[in-house]
Structure formats: structure tokens, C-alpha cells
Amino acid sequence: MRSLDEERAYAGSCRAALRRMIAGARENVAVGEHTWGDRYTAERLGFYLKTLARDLGEEGDNPPYFGVIAYGADAGEHSGQTYYLGRRHIADAIGRPPMVMDWRAPVSAAFYQASAVEPRGIETRRRFGWSGDVLTSFEDEHLQPGAPPALAGAGELVRREIERARVGPMRDIVATIQPEQDDLVRTDLEISVCVQGAPGTGKTAVGLHRAAYLLYAHRSRLGRTGVLVLGPNQAFLRYISAVLPTLGEVDVEQTTIERLLDHEARGTDDPAAAAVKHDVRMADVLRNAVHGRIRQPERAVVVNDASYRWRVDQREFAEMVAEAEATTYLTGRERLIARLVAALQRQAEARGQNCNGAWLRRMARAVTPAVDAVWPNLKADDVLAEVLSDPGAAADGILTPEEQRAITWSRPRKAKSARWTAADAVLLDEVSGLLQRTPTYGHVIVDEAQDLSPMQCRAIARRSEHASITVLGDLAQTTTVWGAPDWPTQLGHLGKPAAEIVALSTGYRVPATVVELANRLLTALEVDVPPTTSFRSDGELRIARVEDLAVGAVDAVRRALGTEGSIGVIAAGHHLATATDALKAAGIEATGADGAGRVAVVPASLAKGLEYDHVIALEPAEIVAAETRGLNRLYVVLTRAVSRLDILHTQPLPPQLAG
């Protein structure tokens, strides 16, 4: 293995090779611009080369690699080989072995998986410490039997990386992915997995690295169909937005379920209406509303065509209607039109008529009124407006009269004048899915999946019908009233009942003292999840009763500003405004949940998925009282802390927190 000086020299030659790759890619862009060929090919080539040049260019200042594995003499094809691993592949010449392997390459798996118990032929695993782009240290683990004792658990470099203060957006974890996380990241594309993970166990990190891995392993397939990442809110998306680009992946769609459904919510539902609208029985109601439009024909279809008159009698028409049933309503309608036209064509051809394309189109137009009478053309918003104006016909026997009343508009309306709510957007999507097929992605990653309603799950299922999914969540963090009761049920709604459920319980965010406090709440939450164990022994917890919350919050922020890292003041209700005003009056600059400053004042309802080096949680009793699942919300809030948690209260603490 190389000495530190030799390693530095090697890092220098890797950088030089990377610079040559960048120069080469830029030159290819210039050549690509003058490439002969059809416009489409030239555009695609240009796009590819520009993306490559940009990605490589952005790579410029990152450490070229983070680790190396050296195989022993008995390692088959790898015997005596040494492989450096980095965020991207670096090669100095075509045909020569790469200087650095992509962390996603098959050979890299051993770096993450090898252990003293199962060394996989590896003699030494070396991890590097970098300060910016300067190589400062390395740490070796000797994995072969008889070698000096392996490091107990993770080494110092790994520990330092996991315990480092958080500043700015979430970073990738390629250098320190843990074996159980790596298993999930590298699961085959065909396999759907569900990760039940305690707070900070790396679910989000695993999901994002899995997206990058799948794109590497199945670039052409997923390049066409796309990978979708769904997160709980914009603040969360902003927090994770840099991870995939640093891994070289810029084409992954990252959005929320609300944005995916693409219906701006202009109205709001009362809780009773929202609960019914998110209930899975609405799928049956809407199916009835759509398919209940199909009628038995009452007369024959007669079409005048110049001097002829073609006819499909009522009985034959009825048979066609019965046989046209298809997976989607509008496909069935198309099929019915096609069958009618085919019947007319048979009659016309028997009379020696030339049935060209124009004739077929004319006949399709001619039978449309008859089809409209039995299988009308429908639009999703018209269907839903009718259901919400009068659910009766579609909902009888499915929803109770009281439930029907809860969703009925105070007066009947047309779609045009509807003020759709967020729950309506989910229903509109369901109706659209009944009318015609929804395009599917190549892979869908669903974060915070415990919060989704059955109807939201169905919207995701439609978009992953022919694909696998990665479901990430924590039942203890469910804060919606319609969230998952258990994973098998939720996976059923997501259309993947057979997905494997894997539990992660080692937390890499929350320090042990804070985990111990949060675990007290778990008993009261009555969910069947294993308690978290923390990887981290550091961390501070301070619980203080204060006279004045605003004064307490300002003091706590001032103290927190004395150490490194991000600061999140998390509160519910009017305490948010109190904290914001108090910080402003004290001259401390604070942003909202999606701001980029060092101090953020964050509504408890938006804290999910986020993390702050120092969390200052205000008035836990209020956080609990603010919503139906307030205790779960408090559990989420407490587990946002990376290094320090201050709990400030004027009211008594919720009894479930008492030790």
C-alpha cells in the first residue's frame, strides 16, 4: 500500500487524468456540434456530450476518491489487485484499467460489504480523510485472519464523518455507506423493497443512493422511463436537492405527491370530508361513477353512406358493448367505435366499396353519436363534479349516508366552477386513471411513505405499474390521520403487496441521549417498530422550564450560534410567530424551513425529513395539542437533532416524555 506522500502523488495524477477527461469531453462537444447526421441524432449527441462535460467540470474540485481496497493472493480474478473508489470513474487512457472506480461498479460492493468475519478476499481496506481537496490522512483495516486486530466497529474517519456538524444541504454518504444500507442500495431493479427505518437510519440517503445506483446499472432503460423520487414537502426536497447532482445524476424527477398530481388546490376540505376522500373505498365509488355511465343500446346503429345505408342491429351492438370492456374506460370506447366501423366495413366491402383511410375516419365520426348514447366520452373533472354534487348513485352501498353527506358540496356545481381541494386532486387522478392509462416510470422511490393515504398510494401505484418501487418510512412518524396502519396494508395500496420489508434501526443522525428520550414516546405511540439504537455516543440534551418562551428561544439560539452547524427552532401554532419576532428583535437573522441561512424557524408540521445540528424545540405540549397525531409529531421534532437538543417549555411536559 502507498505511503501518505505516495497517496498524495496518486491523487494528483488522478486529478490530472480527470482534467484530461474534461478537456476531451469539451473537445467532443465542439466536434459533436459539427457532426453530420439527422438533426435528432446530432441533438442527442450534443446533449449527451454537454452533460458529460458539465458533470465532469463540476466534479473538478471534489476529492477524486474516498477509499481503496487491496486484494490478497487468493482472490481469484482480483488477486493482488488494488481498486480506488470515488464518486466517478477516472481513466487516463482508453483500454487501460481505470485509476478510480465508480462507487456503483460491481467491484466496489466489496468495499462496503467486506468485514473481518467475511473479508471477501480483501487484505486491506483504506479510507481517506480530506480537508477540502487536500488529502490529510488515511485509516487502514486489515481484514485477513491473523492480521493486526481489525478496528472495533467503524473507524475514526467513519465516525467523524457521521458525527460531523451539518451545514447547508444534505450531502452524499458514498464514503461511509454501511453494509445494511449498501444491501438496499444495490438491490436488483426488479425487486421492490420497503424500508421501515427509525429516525436518522439513513432511509432518505439510501433512497437517493439507490436512485443513483439504478441509473448507473440500468442507464439506457431508466434513461427512457425515468426515476421518480417523492418527498413530503418542498423544504425537504430543497434539503436533499444536492445529493443526486453530486453523484452525477441530474435527471431524476424529485417532487411531492401534490405536485405530481398537478392540480392546484384552491379549496380546503373539513377533516371529515378529507378522511372520506382519502379512504380506499372512494376507488369503488369512482369506478361506479365512470363505468355506471355505460348503457345498454336501445336502438340499432344506422349510417347513411352516399347511396348506401349500413346497419348494425341492436342485439349485435349490445354484444359489442359487452365485449368492449377494457382496462380503461376510454380504451373500451375506442374499441367499441373500432368494432362498429369494422362491421360497417365488412358490409361495404361486400358491396365492392373501397374503404380507404378517409372512409374509415368518416364512418368513425358517423357512429360516434350512437356510441355517445351508450358509452359517453368523459372528462375526469366532470365525473368528479357529479359525484361531489350527488354521490348517491355511485356511493350507495359503499359509503354510509353520513359519509356521503360529508363529501357532498353544499350546492351542485359544474367542474368549471369547482374549487378543487388537495384531496380532490387525488380523486381526479383516480378518475383519470380509470379513463386512460397513466404513463409509468422505470422506478419510483417514495419517502415518508407512512403518511400517504390509500388513495395517494393508488396514484403512485398507477405510475409504477410496470416498475419496481422503493418505499421508505417509519410508522412511528405517521402524522396524517389516514396514514399506514402497517406496511403490508400500505404496500397493497401501492400495488406491491409482495415487496420485502426490511428494518433499519441504527440511527446515524440522532445522538444516544436524544434517542433515549425519543424512545420513551414510542411506547405511547403504539406502533410495532423496533426502538432506535444510536451509532453516536456524543450529543447534548437540555430540558429547561423557562419563564418566557421568546426570551428562552433567543438565549438558546445565541448559545447555539457559538458552536458550528445549523440551528432549527421548531414550534407549533402561535409560538412560531413569537420565536420569529423575538429573533428579529434580537437582531438574529432567521429563515423559514426552506431558507438557506444558519438559523431557521420551522413549523413542526414541516420538520419531517429535515435535520439541524442544534434543535430548539419550543413548548412540546403545544406541539402535541396542535393536531390529532401530535405525539407522533413531537417524536418527529425531537429526532431532527444531529448534535444538540434544547427543549424549552412553560407548560408541563407531556407525561409520555417523563423518564
Ligand X SMILES: Nc1ncnc2c1ncn2[C@@H]1O[C@H](COP(=O)(O)OP(=O)(O)OP(=O)(O)O)[C@@H](O)[C@H]1O
Binding site for ligand X (CB under 6 A): 161-162, 170, 173, 176-178, 181, 197, 199-205, 474, 477, 508-509, 609, 611, 639
201 is in an annotated binding site: yes
Q: Which is nearer to ligand X, 424 or 611 (CB)?
A: 611
- Smallest gap from Cβ 417 to ligand X, in A, equals 40
Residue among 340, 323, 627, 579 nearest 479 (CA): 627
The amino acid at residue 103 is: W
Which set of grid coordinates corresponds to residue 75?
Answer: 482472490
199 is in an annotated binding site: yes
- Smallest gap from Cβ 195 to ligand X, in A, equals 8
200 is in an annotated binding site: yes
Q: Which is nearer to ligand X, 92 or 163 (CB)?
A: 163
The amino acid at residue 114 is: A
Nearest residue (beta carbon) to ligand X: 202
Q: Which is nearer to ligand X, 318 or 512 (CB)?
A: 512
User: Phi and psi of 374, rounded to 5°?
Assistant: -110, -25
592 is in an annotated binding site: no
**Radius of gyration over alpha carbons of the chain, in Å?**
30
578 is in an annotated binding site: no
- Residue 3: CB atoms within 10 A of its CB come to 9
* Cell 381526479 found at: 428
Cβ 400 vs Cβ 409: under 8 Å: no
Q: Which is nearer to ligand X, 236 or 420 (CB)?
A: 236
- Smallest gap from Cβ 659 to ligand X, in A, equals 22
- Smallest gap from Cβ 511 to ligand X, in A, equals 11
The amino acid at residue 224 is: R
Q: Which is nearer to ligand X, 255 or 331 (CB)?
A: 255
Which set of grid coordinates corresponds to residue 382?
Answer: 366532470
Which set of grid coordinates corresponds to residue 505?
Answer: 434501526
- Smallest gap from Cβ 515 to ligand X, in A, equals 11
292 is in an annotated binding site: no
| 295/322 Cα distance (integer angstroms) | 10
- Smallest gap from Cβ 268 to ligand X, in A, equals 27
Separation of first and last alpha carbons in the chain: 51
Residues 246, 177, 452: CA angle, nearest 5 degrees:
80
Q: Which is nearer to ligand X, 317 or 508 (CB)?
A: 508
197 is in an annotated binding site: yes
Residue among 63, 71, 84 nearest 129 (CA): 63
- Smallest gap from Cβ 226 to ligand X, in A, equals 22
Q: Which is nearer to ligand X, 283 or 616 (CB)?
A: 616
| 656/499 Cα distance (integer angstroms) | 34
Residue among 499, 490, 440, 429 nearest 257 (CA): 429
Feature table: binding site for ATP:
197-204
Feature table: binding site:
197-204
